[in-house]
Amino acid sequence: MKNLLKKNVIIPVLALTILFTGSAFKNDFFEIAKQIEIFTTLFKELNMNYVDETNPGDLMDTAIKSMLADLDPYTNFLNEQDVEAARINNTGDYIGIGAKVRTLKDKLVIVEPYKDYPADKAGLKAGDEIIKVGNTSVESYKDDAGNLLKGAPGTSVEVTYKRQNQTKTATINRAEVEINAVPHFSMINEKTGYIVLSQFNNKAASQTNYALRDLKAQGAERIILDLRGNPGGLLNEAIKIVNLFVPKGQLVVTTKSKVKKYNRTYYTQKDPIDTEIPLVVVIDGGSASASEIVSGALQDLDRAVIVGSRSFGKGLVQRPKILTYGTQVKITISRYYTPSGRCIQSLDYWNRNDKGEAVRVKQENYNAYKTKNGRQVFDGGGVFPDENLGTLKNSAVINAIANENLIFDFATQYYYNNQITDIDDFKLSASDFSDFKNYLKANNFSFETQTEKVLLKAFETAEKEDLGDAIKADYNTLISNLSTSKTKAIDENKDYLLTLLTKEIVKRYVYREGLYDYYKINDPKIKKATEILNSPLAYSNYLR
């Protein structure tokens, strides 16, 4: 009786302890507990009583993904494989074949072999389609076939692959693979150093630090930092990189959340390497998150000239929370703000339109802020470059082409059909672009615009109301005009498409390392950055 009494006393005390732990949680404790109980009861009854066999794991996976879909795309559930992928992304280290691989239903496609790593040494090239790993067919493998390539360092795996309709085999000796955050740094000319920062893993700051010191030792008196295509990563690494160029004790970023403990101000902690060296940061639409913290902070502090095109616009911070059975949830916990006070988040996931789609912040709703020198900058749409070198005219057509991997596939075809002896002089011609458009047609490239979806829905409604015959001719005319517009959109984006094609093709001949050497000579944004740095007056005028 005494033990029972103790249990009856302890349980309410524990409940009260949980109830009053954490300010954000305690206010909703009853509602959270209530909803969990409802869900648990429903889940049990469904799996016990449904007419057909159910898969509890699949049902729960659907439930979790549906719940998170109402939030933002960065709040995600991570299973054991996802957790390992996140670890690799943050550290840059893993055991494998040393190649970026795309997993499809019936094959594994080599997207990019890393120079001098196992896949490259075994002779595999971008575009190769692995159809069998050992004795296991990729097509018949139930789980993620990419896992078949993993294994202990020093072990080997035989793969069967297709290349240009020929079946080949290769033996790959697995090894430890290190993905550098700084894949390239070198001198562009006698006084200008060039650093490429491709991701913010836990090596980002140390490798950028090393590159900067090395270039200065080689005689660099000005620096280009290339953040194009860098999707971000670790916040602390971004702060350390800003710290290389600004004094100790400088505010870099502020985070604000409904949970008070996540409200933080981040200042530089160390003495910088160089606060005076002229600096240009190159960004594009693929520069996101930590890339925007670096470029946005350096812009706000008038410490660098920003060149390129508008960045992605991700002003949100995520934190992983450990769950049971090796899983995690990555939760958006706060928004971040650059030194001027602006948040560059471009999509509003919390005030969606009638279709449930996130709405892009309209330009008329941007708020103006001031840099350290009083220059005007804006929030709500990413980081706007000080020297804007163009944006997409139609992102829908570009996304559709990219999603179908047609640029990648065309580059594969081009590589096997063309020999290039001097990559530095490589240029795609008008004839090459015409070949690319023919390639799109031959592969039945098409994409449905939002306008077409709306028109089709309206036409289907009209047919149900017996009005279809009356508007059919007009509907067909509109669809025909839209088709013409889509074809025109490809021509309107010619320069951007040629840039994407050139990047993919150059990598086939000289790997990613050679691509950056190619950029130093041929890339318009690097040329413009170099031009700005060559003129102290032009550089200072941007920062006034």
- Cβ–Cβ < 8 Å for 275, 291: no
The residue annotated as part of the active site, out of 198, 287, 289, 309, is 289
- Cβ–Cβ < 8 Å for 121, 204: no
- Cβ–Cβ < 8 Å for 212, 180: no
- Sequence-distant (≥ 6) Cβ neighbours of residue 429 within 8 angstroms: none
Q: Which of 75, 77, 78 is nearest to 349 (CA)?
A: 75
Distance CA 112, CA 412 (A): 11
b/e sequence 250-264, b meaning 16+ C-beta within 10 Å = bbbbbbebeeeeeee
Beta bridge partners of 334: 317
Q: Is 65 labeled as catalytic in the residue annotation?
A: no
Q: Is 395 labeled as catalytic in the residue annotation?
A: no
The residue annotated as part of the active site, out of 107, 132, 240, 314, is 314
Backbone angles phi, psi at 124, to 5 degrees: -75, 145
Cα dihedral sign, 280-285-288-293:
positive
Burial of 16 (0-12, 13-18, 19+ CB in 10 A): exposed
Name the residue with tokens 């196992």: 118
* Strand 305-308 versus strand 387-388 pairing type: parallel
Distance CA 402, CA 102 (A): 14
Active site residues: 289, 314
